[in-house]
Amino acid sequence: MEGTSKSAAVPTLKYKIRYSEKLGRYLQAATDLQPGEVIFREEPIVVGPLSCNRNLLCFACMSLLPPNEEEEQYFCTKCDVVPLCGSACEEHPRHHTPDECELFRTNEDVLKKNLCYITGYISSILMILRFWLLKKRDPKLWERVRSMEAHLEKRRGTEEWEDRETNIINMMKSLSLVPYDDPSVSEILQLMCAITDVNSLELRPPGSTREALYLRGLFEKTSLLSHSCRGNLHLTMNRDFKLTVHASVPIKKGDIICFNYTSPLLGTLSRRQHLRKTKYFECDCSVCRDPYELGSYISTILCPRCRKGYLGMEDPLTKFPYERKWKCDNCEHHMAGYLVKTTLNLCKSLLNDDTRDAKELEILKKKLLKTLHRNHFLVVEVKQKLLATYRLEVVKPNPNKRSMENMLNVCKEMYELMEIVEPGISRHKAILLFELHLPIVSLANQAHCRQEISSIELAPRLEEGASILKKSLAMLLLQPPDTPEGALAKRGLEKLKALNTTISDVKALSQLEQLTVRERRRLHKHK
């Protein structure tokens, strides 16, 4: 059984639901868990677009729609009212529910009058609309959903509250999708918005490699997972949005099961601000408490006095970091927070241009490194752009040697950082390792072709690349085959097979090269 102990005669859950004043309800490991082990699987309660997407998504199956000027092809083939889906969605398991289609059919006249207006906004209300229909369709499930953390009172009167009232609730009322004159409707819809904002996960549309396009889904058990900026989970999802929760590192019985609600490549200030604004709590995990973020130095700047150490926040958990002093980890020099803020703003201003090529990005990186740690999140942003340019170079028949050397160094630095901020199994690390093996193999082959190294020296360098690729595949193969990472795993398996064949050939050649002239003659005569 999924998410249960295999050895038990009676299936036993690998987690327990606990409660504390600080965390609320959370999941605790009921047994020791190993990296890669499945803790549980579950399907979403509801899925919807994260933001307004005009003619980009099929709102039934959440697949990307091809560009097409004939908007009629995007109409729901069931209710033929608004541009919700196309004929390709008919057989999809997440096609509109009958009550959803019926609601649009019933309000056909109102929707057609507002068609031009709602095309760009229907995605914003779709997820909440599906919650509204769920409440009527499955009251027992709705009662479980409404028990999720919502922080409703903290949201009341805020910008988020007013935004949802204007752009979702009033929109649904004006389109007659919910009762207009019932005062209790607004409160219920605000609760649904709050539950969605606090508990939903960001998802990528099936088959999409475009990181800018996201959906969101609500999962019952997953909503109980606690946060840590250095979590112990690895989440995977197939094209039908079925979620699988794996242990990413060894988890001991009794440990809290948690994952990172934010990006591991954000600095402490950005992570804590995001959590404060969207999840309504102050993170005080081990990463946030450490001025130097467990040695990742992802928010630090070079000390202007000793030029060896780095300045970190003296009081990382404060809400006003630039009103406090920052301290060097080498000479203990203190610097006013407002000066740190000015320095960072100057560095940020250098990143505005998105049209830089590899050479310009490398120059920019050198400039930033005069002020920032090599792992600083602004430097990491430049490194990610650099990797995008190196990917274009590495696929060429004869990649530029300097670019491959730079790609090798950037991948190594990024991987070392990820080992700190996201230990264990990680999608980011899997992709980095895949990219790391490419310049290792390319540089080795180039050096051999130029006769800079012998076949004897080539083999171990190729074996190093194969070893790194295997580490990547160990993580990528946890991903469903219908995801971009799953496709990368398939490609990686093909590359590993070809690489192993090359290694065998190189070893055979090196053995032949080591034979004496007499031994070669004997071998030839024997053949």
Domains along the chain? 15-43+219-259 (2.170.270.10), 46-203 (no CATH), 268-348 (no CATH), 358-366+375-513 (no CATH)
Q: Where are the beta strands (DSSP E) in 30-183?
A: 38-42, 46-49
Q: Find out whether 198 and 155 touch, Cβ atoms under 8 Å.
A: no
Burial (CB < 10 A; 0-12, 13-18, 19+), residue 246, is: buried
Look at residue 53 and tell me whether its pLDDT is greater than 50: no
Of 419, 422, 416, give the one whose Cα is nearest residue 232: 422
Taking all residues of the chain, what is their mean pLDDT, rounded to a whole number?
86
Look at residue 472 and tell me whether its pLDDT is greater than 50: yes
With H, G, I as helix, E, B as strand and everything else as coil, classify residue 326: strand
Take residue 48 and report the two structure tokens written for it: 């919807």
Percent of the chain with pLDDT strictly greater than 70: 82
42 pLDDT tier (thresholds 50, 70, 90):
very high
3 pLDDT tier (thresholds 50, 70, 90):
low
Instruction: Say how far apart CA 439 and CA 450 lie, in whole Å.
Output: 16
Look at residue 527 and tell me whether its pLDDT is greater than 70: no
* 124 alpha carbon, distance to own chain's centre: 22
Instruction: Say how far apart CA 458 and CA 462 lie, in whole Å.
Output: 6
8 pLDDT tier (thresholds 50, 70, 90):
very low
Instruction: Say how far apart CA 12 and CA 19 lie, in whole Å.
Output: 20
Q: What is the mean pLDDT of residues 45-62?
A: 62
pLDDT, tens digit (0-9, with 9 covering 90-100), for 290-326: 999 999 999 999 999 999 999 999 999 988 889 899 9
Look at residue 355 and tell me whether its pLDDT is greater than 70: no
Instruction: Say how far apart CA 483 and CA 206 lie, in whole Å.
Output: 7
pLDDT, tens digit (0-9, with 9 covering 90-100), for 124-159: 788 899 999 999 999 999 999 999 999 999 999 999
Take residue 364 and report the two structure tokens written for it: 């920019």
pLDDT at 2: 52
pLDDT at 181: 85
DSSP 8-state secondary structure symbol assigned to residue 321: G
pLDDT, tens digit (0-9, with 9 covering 90-100), for 232-272: 999 999 888 899 999 999 999 999 999 999 999 999 999 99
445 pLDDT tier (thresholds 50, 70, 90):
very high
pLDDT, tens digit (0-9, with 9 covering 90-100), for 380-429: 999 999 999 999 999 998 999 999 999 999 999 999 999 999 999 999 99
Burial (CB < 10 A; 0-12, 13-18, 19+), residue 457, is: middle
End-to-end CA separation in angstroms for the chain: 58
Q: Find out whether 4 and 11 touch, Cβ atoms under 8 Å.
A: yes
Burial (CB < 10 A; 0-12, 13-18, 19+), residue 355, is: exposed
> Tell me, what amino acid is at 500?
N
pLDDT at 180: 86
